[in-house]
Structure 1
Amino acid sequence: MLARAQAPTRSDDIAKRVAPCMTCHGKEGRATNDGYYPRIAGKPAGYLYNQLINFRDGRRQQYPLMVYMVQNLSDDYLKEMAVFFADQHLPYPPPPTIAATPAILERGRQLVMNGDPARKLPACIACHGEALTGVAPAIPGLLGLPRDYINSQFGAWREGTRRALAPDCMAEITRQLRPDEISAVSAWLSTRGVPDDAAPARSLPAKLPVACGSVPQ
């Protein structure tokens, strides 16, 4: 097995070294217009680092190109990449028009904002922050993401091709959602505009409603 590449010295230009990432994720990580690849600019560094580690170590398998690109990179190198993109705070475009009925959008809003207490299903805002812009250091924002991408990630958690450190809270939550509920959530989220200050919250107002292995408690 090849040795993992160490991060070059700080004199080296990190922007040049992460340029291949922008082929899919767009200039400075702000995402492209194809409606699939996610924006990585401004996401919490801890979250981006965890995802790079998950790709490298085989917990995320749905994108072979990502696995190939990071499989021989060291922890330090991946952390440097994560910090670079986390520091890119760029304007978001307005949300696209979504073909969804008012009833579907309302169902999505209810699940995002309130969850389903009867099923012990937590609201998205309980973990991802009241503004849905994420929480430092490791919880991502949910706004500004393409609907197709959101749907694909729910599918990956359901099929087990996307995993996280145990307990894998998103996999457990996804298994409780019906396909129509996933569609409603992705529709509502993708119609939300992103606030001018889209920085992740510094902390949650309360303890996480479920245990998550990738989020420090």
Structure 2
Amino acid sequence: MELSPKLLLTGACVLALIGCSPAPVDRPYSRTGELLALSGGDGGPQAACHICHGMQGEGDGDLTPRLAGIERGYLTRQMNFFADGLRNHAQMHWIAKRLTPAEQELVAGYYADMAFQAPPAPASTTCDARAAAIYHQGDPARGMASCASCHGDAGEGIGRGNPAIAGQPARYIAHQLTQWREGKRYGDPQGAMLAAARLLREDEIEAVAVYSASLRGSPGDPGSPAECPPPHRPDR
């Protein structure tokens, strides 16, 4: 049987394609901070940040913190601590271990650049003047520095490594202060958090946590109720 030129050409093309070896693809997509946060990266969907921290990085209003607008260096350092076991949290350890240092920085940058809008302050909020004084002034008699000296009068965070705490859940803040006080949390380069938390009584931890959570995060607009004393720090 004589083969037609068209059939011969088709066969030649098929053989040529069979002989081709496509270039190996290590990672078929570009790993951005957003993609890692939403997909979970190598950890899979169960490692996706948004499952616990929300699509807008807002947290869950309880024990899971907001990530939106938190300083990039602080977030990167915390992921390093989780990965290395210096900050104890089984789920976060498992997730952070599956991110390379470069990927941790990408995720941190994604959330640091995310806008955060504090929820409206309740109209009937009352202020604990004792908690406000500890937050803005500290307690010189006990050698306690003010929270505002690092976290800002509005809870906005001051400088690199000092996270914003405005809009964080009160229960989360109280839990972290307790972790510091009991020596279960580490990674404070100058020991400021460890020293301050150990000077706080249990009832003060709860009060300061509630007050801190009520701050607005915008300098000049602390959002404190009118009956609270105006913010004043001895270092100003």
Range class of TM-score, shorter chain: 0.7 to 0.9
Structure 1 residues 90 and 132 mapped into 2: Cα distance closer, same or farther (>3 Å)?
closer
Contact in 1 for aligned 2:164/2:217 (Cα 8 Å) = no
For 1:17, the aligned partner's letter is L
Establish whether residue 69 from structure 1 lines up as the match of residue 92 from structure 2. no
From 151, 160, 170, the equivalent of 2:193 is 170
Verify the 8 A CA contact 2:155 2:216 in the aligned structure 1. no
> For the Cα contact (< 8 Å) 1:91–1:196, is it kept in 2?
no
Q: More deviation in 105-114 or 72-81?
A: 72-81
1:193–1:107 distance in 2 versus 1, CA, 3 Å: same
Q: Give CA deviations for 1:126-173 in whole Å, capped at 9, x if unaligned.
A: 111233201232110121011110111011112222111544321121
* Contact 2:135 2:146 (8 Å CA) reproduced: yes
Larger radius of gyration: 2
Match of 1:23 in 2: 51
Specify the alignment match of 1:191 in structure 2.
214
- Give the drift of 1:87: 0.5
Q: Which runs of 5+ in 1 are unaligned?
A: 1-7, 199-208, 210-217
Aligned residue in 1 for 2:69? 42
Distance 1:115 1:44 in 2: 24
Give % identity: 32
CA positional deviation for 1:75: 1.7
> Does residue 75 of structure 2 align to residue 56 of structure 1?
no
Counterpart of 1:5 in structure 2 is: none
Letter in 1 for 2:36: R
Separation in 2 of the partners of 1:11 and 1:197? 41
The CA RMSD measured in Å over matched residues stands at 2.7
Give the corresponding residue for 2:6: none
Paired positions, count: 187
**SS of the residue 2:50 aligns to:** helix
| Residues 30-73 of structure 1: per-residue CA shift (max 9 Å, x gap) | 2234x221111101101111111111111110x21001101243
Instruction: Note if 1:94 corresponds to 2:120.
Output: yes
CA contact (8 A) 1:25 1:38 kept: yes
The equivalent residue for 1:12 is 31
| Contact preservation (8 Å) 1:44, 1:139 | yes
Query: Which amino acid counterpart does residue 158 of structure 2 have in structure 1?
Result: V
Q: Identify if the C-alpha distance between structure 1 residues 89 and 10 changes in structure 2 by more than 3 Å, giving closer, same or farther.
A: farther
Change (3 A) 1:47 1:22: same
- CA distance in 1 between counterparts of 2:58 and 2:101 reads 24
**TM-score normalised by length of structure 1:** 0.76
Equivalent position amino acid for 1:92 in 2: A
Show the counterpart of 1:116.
139
Out of 185-194 and 45-54, give the one that drifted further.
185-194
Contact 2:155 2:215 in 1 (8 A): no
| Preserved contact between residue 151 and residue 183 of structure 1 (Cα < 8 Å) | yes
